[in-house]
Amino acid sequence: MPTFRKYAFPKQADADKVLALCTGTTAAVALGTLDGLISYDILWEGDAPAIAAKYETWPTPCGVHSFLGWDEQYTADYQEFATPSTL
């Protein structure tokens, strides 16, 4: 299943390593520099690669950019991965 993730990189070279993994129908959108970090949204064809995980960022859904039709998936992932458990 495709996966939508937001990323923040300290430098373009780090972004380039992850962007090099974008193949097939994977789509990457450069958002520019936000808070001193180079930001991208990537819609992966499948699961996001493990190497990219350390650059994931979880802004509150669904801000300035989203892929059409992917707001619900991002919001569900945000609640699962970015929101602390209240157990």
- C-alpha 80/C-alpha 46 separation (Å) is 18
Quick one: pLDDT at residue 17? 97
More confident residue, 44 or 60: 44
pLDDT digits (tens, 9 = 90+) for 35-47: 899 999 999 999 9
10 found inside a domain: yes
Mean pLDDT of 3-18: 96
Quick one: pLDDT at residue 64? 62
| Number of domains the chain contains | 1
Question: Which of helix, strand or coil describes residue 47?
Answer: coil
87 found inside a domain: no
- C-alpha 74/C-alpha 5 separation (Å) is 7
Question: Over 1-24, what HEC string results?
Answer: CCEEEEEEECCHHHHHHHHCCCCC
Domain range spanning residue 30? 3-82
More confident residue, 31 or 69: 31
- C-alpha 15/C-alpha 55 separation (Å) is 9
74 found inside a domain: yes
